[in-house]
Structure formats: structure tokens, C-alpha cells
Amino acid sequence: MIIAMKSDATEQEIADVCESIRGYGYTPHLIRGEERVVIGAVGRGDNKDHLQSLRSWPGVADVVPILQPYKIVSRELKQQKSVIRVGDLEIGGSEFIVMAGPCSVETREQLMETAEAVKQAGAQVLRGGAYKPRTSPYDFQGLEVEGLKLLADARSRTGLKIVTEVVSAEDTEVVAEYADILQVGARNMQNFALLKRLGGAGRPVLLKRGMSSTIKELLLSAEYIASHGNNQVILCERGIRTFETYTRNTFDLAAVPVLNELSHLPVVVDPSHGTGRRSLIRPASKAAVAIGADGLIIEVHPRPHEAWSDGAQSLTPPEFAQIMAELRNYVKLESRHLNI
Ligand code: PEP
Ligand code: MN
């Protein structure tokens, strides 16, 4: 339920409404808009009629149900777009954010070389997997804590923020110790134990869409994280599995405006996994800007042919720099800016 307060409601009236929401077994989520406060009452409380009765309370303008199954992350509850702060960086604001780096952290040299190059080209966040969810158990599984330490060194050296994947609930705390943003991979989008744990991680989460997941399922996974205490969620479209085989996945661009309609959370696009082909990253990135994405996450490797994972979709540093230079004009057309 949404409890819309009157524009002149007092702080005491707001506090009283929150208190009674708790009393009915729901959790209040306060959203302070420019004109008025809106309170979302979510959870499995004992009686919706109790919430309806709040309509006659002092300071309350209206009580309306949230129709979507996801509540906290829905546009119904919060009309204004959310801006996720990562230190001095804002994701979902006027700056278009680019996260770039290797699929996997391989060696110190590989990571530092990539970090310097993507920083130089204008990226704000360094990506790189230290824990890798691989289809085959015989493929490289990641450097784990050693990789996290290298990422932290790259951050000290370049000032870039770090996004890296957490593959299991037990690793959440150690990854959160080193990373600025915790990535949930496509294969883990419905790992509910992990999503619940991320609710208490104290770090923003980049939630990737599962390769066979609907938009509704993606939003319900975001709701898991938010309802467990962390509403700092960034959604990521990374392509879905269809009958098409030419591309690694089918890049579902329409998901971006759909997510923007249904949710207030920022939306980032991953053209690397979305297409699986180096030659398609440039057009797919431009399309992502034009269709309303808040940022991109792109794989870059100094020597893609030597990459331990995802070489075929990784850009070289010069290719990445070229795309960044071109994107600047596209971003301007969307009334955004790219910090290069
Ligand atoms: C990755 O970012 O390298 C990755 C494994 O992505 P996804 O989970 O989208 O496949
Ligand atoms: Mn990858």
C-alpha cells in the first residue's frame, strides 16, 4: 500500500503513520519527494484493511494499493528516479557512467594496464571478476581474494571505483570489504540466499538479468535485496537466451525503457555479454545511450586473444577509447554528460 501524506503533514504525523504501519506487521518505507512524503507499507502484514483505515488519519491524503508484485523498487511507489551514490559518483544522475575492465582479473600487469587505459579513456568504474561463475568446472574460476586485492590496488592507483562479482552468499562480506559495487551475475539472479544476504551488505548492488529471466523476475529479485534492507540496486540488462545463435545472447534493448517505466532504479547495459562479439559493442553501446540507459559495463582487455575468459567480446584499449570519444556526442543528445 502507498500512504500519500498531505503536503503540509507534520513530522509527528509522518512518524505516527509509520508507527502504526509497523504495528500492523508491515515495514514502512519513507520516500521524501519534492512536494510530499509518500510511505510504502510493504511486507506480509496481518490485514490490508488496517492500512486502509489510515486514510482518515491526520496528515494522510490518500491510501492506494501498489498493483505490481514488486513494491519498493516500483515507479508506483517512487516516481522520481533513484540516484545511487558510490562515494563521489552518482549512478542514475546527469552523468552517464561507464564501467570497464577485463572479464576476469588475471595478473597484476593485466589489471593495472587495463585500469590505466580505461581511466584514461573516461571510465569511472573498473570491472573485473575475482570470483568467476564458469559454465565448465575446468575453466578458470578466478583469483578470489588475491584478485580482490589487485582490484583494490588498481583503485588506489587510478581512483576508479570497483565493481566485482560475488558468486555465493558466504563470500558477500569478503567481497564487500574490497569492492565499491557488488555484482550479481546472470546465473545468480535468482539465488535468493545471496540476494537476502546482499540486503545487509552495505554496498550498492549491480543486479544482472538472468539469461532466461523476465523483466518481472528481474524486478522481483531487486525487490528481494531492497526488502532485506538495501535499496541501492542498479539493474543490468545483459542479453537473454533465444533461438538466435549468431550473437551470444539476444540483446534486449527494449528492456531498458520498460525498466525505466516500471522502476525508479538506475539501468546499466552490458553490450559485451549482450552481443558476445567485439564488432557489435560500438553500435550496441550507442543504442543503449539513445534508449535511456544510465550507463554501460564493457569488457576491455589489453590483449583479448590472450584473455582467460570472454576474449571474443573484449575490446582493446584503443577500441574502447574510440567508442568513448564517439559516445560523448550521443550522451549530450540525451542531456547527459560523459566525464571525458
Ligand atoms: C561477467 O560480467 O563477466 C559475467 C559473468 O556476466 P553475466 O553474469 O552477465 O554472464
Ligand atoms: Mn565476462
Task: Give 17-60 pLDDT, tens digit per residue.
Answer: 999 999 999 999 999 988 899 999 998 877 788 889 999 999 99
What's the CA gap between 82 and 63, in Å, rounded?
A: 23
Residue among 325, 274, 284, 278 nearest 301 (CA): 278
In this prediction, residue 49 carries a pLDDT of 87
To test ligand 1's pocket by mutation, which of 114, 273, 298 has the most ligand atoms within 8 angstroms of CB?
A: 273
Residue among 116, 117, 149 nearest 130 (CA): 149
In this prediction, residue 335 carries a pLDDT of 84
Q: Which residue has the cell 584478485?
A: 147
Work out the angle between the directed axes of helices 145-158 and 108-121 (0-180°, nearest 10). 40
pTM of the model: 0.96
CA distance readout (Å), 162 to 87, 129, 178, 185? 11, 10, 8, 15
Give the tens place of pLDDT for each residue, 251-298. Answer: 999 999 999 999 999 999 999 999 999 999 999 999 999 999 999 999
In this prediction, residue 45 carries a pLDDT of 77
Compute the distance from residue 75 Cα to the ligand 2 centre, in Å: 31
- Which residue CA neighbors atom 10 of ligand 1 most closely? 186
Question: CA geometry: angle at 92 spanning 188 and 88, to 5°?
Answer: 100
CA distance readout (Å), 12 to 52, 58, 145? 20, 10, 48
Ligand 1 nearest atom to the CA of residue 236, by list position: 9
